[in-house]
Amino acid sequence: MKKRSGFNVIMRLIGLVKPLAVYMILAIIMGLIGHLCASFITIFGGYAILSATGGNSPLPLVVLFVCVVAFAVVRGGLRYAEQSCNHFIAFKLLALIRDKVFRALRTLCPAKLEGRDKGDLISVITSDIELLEVFYAHTISPAAIWFLFTVIMSIFIGSYNIILGFIALAAYIIVGIIVPVVISKLSGDSGIKFRTKSGELSSFVLESLRGLSETIQYVAGKKRLEKMNEMTDDLSGEEARMKRMTGRNMAVTNSIILIFDLAMLFSGVALYNSGAIGFDGVLITTIALFSSFGPSVALAKLGSTLQNTFAAGNRVLDILDEKPSVADITDCDDAAFGDVSVDNVSFSYGNETILQNVSLTVPENKVIGIVGKSGSGKSTLLKLLMRFWNVNNGDISISGRSIKNINTSQLRDMESFVTQETHLFHDSIKSNLKIAKLDATDEEIITACKKASVHDFIMTLPQGYDTPVGELGDTLSGGERQRIGLARAFLHDAPLMLLDEPTSNLDSLNEAVILRSLGEQSSDKTVVLVSHRQSTMRIADTVYSVEH
């Protein structure tokens, strides 16, 4: 995780408010007026005491009573409106941030996300982004309200005596800024630890759910549960430390407020005894300070929670700031599909070399087989043809043009890629197939499924093509999922088909049907086929080995 200062995180998060700046200004204005109304209800009570005792009151008693009632009604309405506006801003921004995160993940995939902890990513997308609601709904506008409110109330109290005005100003600054900053510093990196451990627990639970059958099979449930309880206790310990810090924060805040209330009272009495102010100066300034700590307390409460919010913001910004390994190309002229050439290509994952000086030619409308032992780079070669990664050395070209100079969207339109594991979304079979071609007709879908030898099976299901496949396609067998993946490739109808072990989960009968379909397609399709099966390689015009 990239370390950013709290100020840097705040400014980045505030920058995201720009599209909703008008609503934020409206919330600040309503909040400011509402807090002033709340404080002046009490101040009007002080004026009422002065009026009843024959003191120096600026308004008659009846007018003061009407003002109290009116300010109470206005305060209630503005409080509701301010909170509604803040939460509209917060949830609208959370939606925009989620959109930005998904767009970022799209550009990072697959190079930066392969091997990434999926549970931790889910934690960022859900709980971490959700935590930013506190910042947008309860931090930005309260901070602005505090600043404006502090200026107005310090001037009001200072109008009786400048010394009292400075006491009020010091009270607001200490309670509203110094206390939360100190508490935040004392919290250290507890927020980051908490969010990190929360992500780890989410990942562990997700992994445990997916591997539940294996856990039961090998009687490993007790050990898995012990580990989960250990992680939960560890997370609870971090949360308890944060809660204790919150309690200390409130205790310190309330103590400081009491000290300044007494300081205002005693200072007012001293100034009254010296003849610098009248009795109204003592009463009104003391009551005004008593009733005006609302915005400062709202900020003070954030001291112990901001670390958690900043940690969540940091994790979100990590995704938004991460640079993709392979940037999409959008500014090149359209390219025509033709022969594919791999020239002296070398590639490594980190320090582990996978391919070294590999060269091969894939003529148009031919079937090319790729063989080699596990781990020799067969699947990696297909991913390089898709430009999921850039090669370290050498070049890959189509019709003599490097794929680095072909628009990414057009390159993907030229290619259909079937991986060893077919991912199915929790949706109907038809919806899963239409990922390959969103505007596909029913006839096109059926034709593709017949080529993949899966149409007859689908028609035996209760709802046919509208049958839901369950989460991760769990209601289907491995062979059925693989055939649906092949049907996607046929439906995509790209001139270049990249097939990674397309028949590994199939019986010999279904394999023969699919190989016959591939053979029939070879008249207008170029196929690169990876397989360990000798029977699969019989349809290849040329077979290359990536070993040696």
Tens digit of each residue's pLDDT, the chain (548 residues): 555 666 677 778 778 788 888 888 999 999 999 999 999 999 998 888 888 887 777 888 888 899 899 999 999 999 899 888 888 888 888 888 888 888 888 888 877 777 666 667 777 777 778 777 777 777 788 888 999 999 999 999 999 999 999 999 999 999 888 887 787 777 666 666 777 788 788 888 878 887 888 888 888 888 889 999 998 988 888 888 878 877 877 888 889 999 999 999 999 999 999 989 988 889 999 999 998 998 888 887 766 566 677 777 788 888 888 888 888 888 888 888 888 898 998 988 878 888 888 888 889 888 888 888 887 888 888 888 888 888 889 999 998 899 999 998 898 888 888 887 888 888 899 999 998 888 999 999 999 898 888 888 899 988 899 988 877 677 788 778 888 888 998 899 888 988 888 777 677 777 777 777 777 766 678 888 888 777 778 888 888 887 76
Bridge-based pairing of strands 496-500 and 526-530 is parallel
Question: And the tokens for 475?
Answer: 């209601």
Q: Are 476 and 440 in contact (CB under 8 A)?
A: no
| Cβ-count burial 518-542 (b if 16+ within 10 Å, e if not) | beebbeebbbbbbbebeebbebbee
Bridge-based pairing of strands 496-500 and 367-371 is unpaired
* Residue (of 333, 435, 326, 433) closest to 385 by Cα position: 326
Residue ranges per structural domain of the chain: 6-194+237-321, 340-545
- 95-100 contacts at long range (C-beta below 8 A, 24 or more positions apart): 96/16, 96/19, 97/16, 97/129, 97/132, 97/316, 98/125, 98/129, 100/320
User: Which class for 224: exposed (0-12), middle (13-18), buried (19 or more C-beta within 10 A)?
Assistant: middle
Measured distance between the N- and C-terminal CA atoms of the chain, rounded to whole angstroms: 39
CATH class of 340-545: alpha beta
CATH class of 6-194+237-321: mainly alpha
